[in-house]
């Protein structure tokens, strides 16, 4: 575990890097379907709608979390909480719903990239996709991201994050409980149970299988 001074320094550098980048607010993107849930900043999948996630090329920042996608008069909102290697991926069910106006579990389709309009919108428009309106993050593995956002105290994440004592974004290990963080005291959150406990949680995140529409447990 890095020292508190090192952590704050890394957080400040990360925050400066994201802040320095001028992010476009809207545009056109060729979206592609993504089957397996993940989050590069450790968003806890069992507490969000994993069928509405954006795997975007730009880094996950502390403000632009909610993306509105529009195609042929239809719109859906997705959570931008993972960084792709270059593709504009979205959850398979979101892709299917937007392009074909049917859930993937009802009428699964296959296909490549399709151009759609996108724009960042107020994060309140994604409130129903979140955990009581909060962004739930892994208490043991999201600390650098949280610290970078706390370095921007007026950012949306700084005001709306919640730390959960689960180790992995698909919720296999740990405790489903809220932790507290005070960086002036420690870079380790305090939780009712041991932080990062590798116990099996009994929780499951489900993916919708590409092409079949079957609901399967995340590996």
Confidence of residue 219 (pLDDT cuts 50, 70, 90): confident
Q: What confidence score (pLDDT) does residue 23 get?
A: 66
Alpha-carbon span 44 to 135, nearest angstrom: 8
Contact 203, 166 (CB under 8 A): yes
Would residue 117 count as lying in a domain? yes
Q: Read off the CATH number of the domain in which 98 is found.
A: 2.40.40.10
pLDDT at 175 exceeding the cut of 90: yes
Alpha-carbon span 116 to 108, nearest angstrom: 19
Would residue 213 count as lying in a domain? no
Overall domain count for the chain? 1
Alpha-carbon span 116 to 44, nearest angstrom: 28
| CA-to-CA separations, 6 to 1, 3, 172, 175, 188, in angstroms, rounded | 10, 5, 29, 28, 13
Would residue 206 count as lying in a domain? no
Alpha-carbon span 36 to 51, nearest angstrom: 10
* pLDDT tens column, 5-59: 344 444 444 443 444 356 688 999 999 999 999 999 999 999 999 999 999 999 9
Alpha-carbon span 219 to 216, nearest angstrom: 9
Alpha-carbon span 41 to 142, nearest angstrom: 6
* pLDDT tens column, 160-169: 999 999 999 9
Would residue 77 count as lying in a domain? yes
- pTM value is 0.88
* pLDDT tens column, 91-129: 999 999 999 999 999 999 999 899 999 999 999 999 999
Would residue 195 count as lying in a domain? no
Instruction: Please report, in angstroms and rounded to a whole number, the separation of the first and last CA atoms in the chain.
Output: 27
Would residue 205 count as lying in a domain? no
Return the number of other C-beta atoms located less than 10 Å from residue 170's C-beta.
24
Residue with more model confidence, 3 or 100: 100
Would residue 89 count as lying in a domain? yes
Domain that holds residue 71: 25-40+49-125
Would residue 138 count as lying in a domain? no
């Amino acid at each position: 575990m890095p020292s508190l001074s090192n952590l704050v320094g890394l957080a400040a550098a990360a925050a400066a890097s994201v802040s320095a980048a001028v992010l476009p607010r809207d545009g056109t993107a060729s979206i592609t379907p993504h089957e397996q849930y993940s989050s590069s900043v450790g968003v806890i999948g069992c507490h969000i709608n994993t069928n509405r996630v954006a795997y975007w090329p730009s880094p996950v920042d502390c403000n632009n979390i909610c993306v509105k996608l529009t195609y042929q008069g239809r719109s859906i909102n997705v959570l931008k909480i993972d960084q792709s290697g270059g593709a504009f991926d979205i959850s398979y069910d979101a892709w299917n719903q937007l392009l074909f106006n049917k859930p993937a579990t009802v009428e699964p389709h296959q296909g490549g990239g399709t151009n759609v309009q996108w724009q960042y919108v107020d994060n309140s428009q994604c409130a129903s996709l979140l955990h009581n309106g909060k962004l739930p993050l892994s208490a043991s593995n999201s600390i650098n991201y949280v610290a970078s956002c706390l370095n921007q105290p007026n950012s949306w994440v700084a005001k709306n994050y919640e730390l959960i004592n689960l180790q992995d974004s698909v919720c296999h290990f740990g405790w489903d409980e809220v932790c507290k963080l005070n960086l002036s005291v420690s870079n380790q959150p305090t939780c009712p149970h041991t932080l990062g406990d590798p116990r099996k949680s009994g929780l499951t995140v489900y993916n919708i299988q590409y092409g079949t529409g079957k609901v399967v447990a995340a590996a």
